[in-house]
Chain A
Amino acid sequence: MVDDKHLKELETYADSELLLLMSYQEEEELEAKLAFEAFRRRYNNVLWQACSKVCSFYPQSEELQYIVYNNTLLSIYKYHSYDESKGNILLWIFGIARNELKMALSEINSPEKALSEAESYKLDLLIESEPEEEIEETFEASIIKKAINTLTEREQEILLTYHQYSDGNKHLPDPVLERLKEKYQTTSANLRKIKQRATEKIMAYIENCGIKV
């Protein structure tokens, strides 16, 4: 079914050309799907690796990883809305993957509630928000990894979930909050306390390494 010769030719096209061809999926579905295939071959491996790494910190990690990977590719095909002037295409792809992870985590325990939330996340693909003030400083990779390892599985999941939304200080969307409350049989207030305690544990670990925070 796949026209290998034409696919090889498409593999030489620029990202923007492939995404443009994908936008013709109603008029020329076969060509759009071939363009998608060429695009997928270009970014498949790095997307899989990224999903593997980020999803490894959540429950059901293997299923979650596959779902985020698959749905990210599907959203790329459906929305193909990359704007070259906005920077590296990998950031765009990973932005979609981030949305898909949020959607998957919302849907895990409340598919009905997640439906409306999912729709709003889909809109995020089209409407890019203003970037927050960026800071360049990070802690050392080895220290932050060890610090995260001192947390319990519950603390890790709650802390990372909060940090998916802004810098961990924003309220979580209701479906996400409900999932965590049900999973850990606790209240919203306790979730915030657990997140706070996890942050303090990381802070203490870093200070114990002789680093001023």
Chain B
Amino acid sequence: MKKDFDKKLNNSLKSFGFLFPENEKQLESFLKEIQNIEIPENIKNCSEDFSFKREELTKFIFKDEGNLAVNYLAQAARKGGNIPQNILKKMEKDRDNI
């Protein structure tokens, strides 16, 4: 029963946007879930040129509270490329919070 539950849960997660879908049925539900998500202007309709550069998160700092690391800073190492303003602001905010 537990395995069946896990499978049904997994199918639900892939259908309702918690994980990427893997089959047609999941895709159908997934697309309904995401259809109203807002797209930033700089992403919408490819208004900026694609950089053809791989992006990576390279820095990760923990700030522990007891046994649980609940805060962190990630700084994306992007050599040029198109970094959306909202992401830059978020990164600055994260840095200030450390």
Give chain A interface residues in 161-213, CB to chain B under 8 Å: 163-164, 166-169, 182-186, 199, 202-203, 213
In the assembled complex, the Cα of A98 lies from the Cα of B30 at a distance in Å of: 14
On whether the beta carbons of B62 and A182 are closer than 8 Å, the reply is yes
On whether the beta carbons of B6 and A60 are closer than 8 Å, the reply is no
Instruction: Give the Cβ gap from B93 to chain A, nearest Cβ, in Å.
Output: 10
A145 on interface, CB distance cutoff 8 Å: yes
Number of B interface residues at 8 Å Cβ cutoff, please give it: 62
Instruction: Give the Cβ gap from B85 to chain A, nearest Cβ, in Å.
Output: 11
In the complex, what residues of B have CB within 8 A of residue A164's CB? Answer: 19
In the complex, what residues of A have CB within 8 A of residue B7's CB? Answer: 135, 167
Interface range on chain A: under 10, 10 to 19, 20 to 34, or 35 or more? 35 or more
In the complex, what residues of A have CB within 8 A of residue B22's CB? Answer: 91, 94-95, 98, 131
On whether the beta carbons of A134 and B5 are closer than 8 Å, the reply is no
> A46 is contacted by which of B10, B34, B52, B70 (Cβ under 8 Å)?
B34
B98 on interface, CB distance cutoff 8 Å: no
A126 on interface, CB distance cutoff 8 Å: no
Give chain B interface residues in 73-89, CB to chain A under 8 Å: 74, 76, 81, 83-84, 86-87
Instruction: Give the Cβ gap from B64 to chain A, nearest Cβ, in Å.
Output: 7
Task: Enumerate chain B interface residues (CB-CB to A < 8 A).
Answer: 1, 3-13, 15-25, 27, 29-31, 33-35, 37, 39, 43-46, 50-58, 60, 62, 64, 67-70, 72, 74, 76, 81, 83-84, 86-87, 90-91
Task: Enumerate chain A interface residues (CB-CB to B < 8 A).
Answer: 33, 36-37, 40-41, 44-46, 48-50, 52-54, 57, 59-60, 62-64, 66-67, 69-71, 73-74, 77, 87-88, 90-91, 94-95, 97-98, 101, 104, 107-109, 111, 131, 134-139, 141, 144-145, 148, 153-154, 160, 163-164, 166-169, 182-186, 199, 202-203, 213
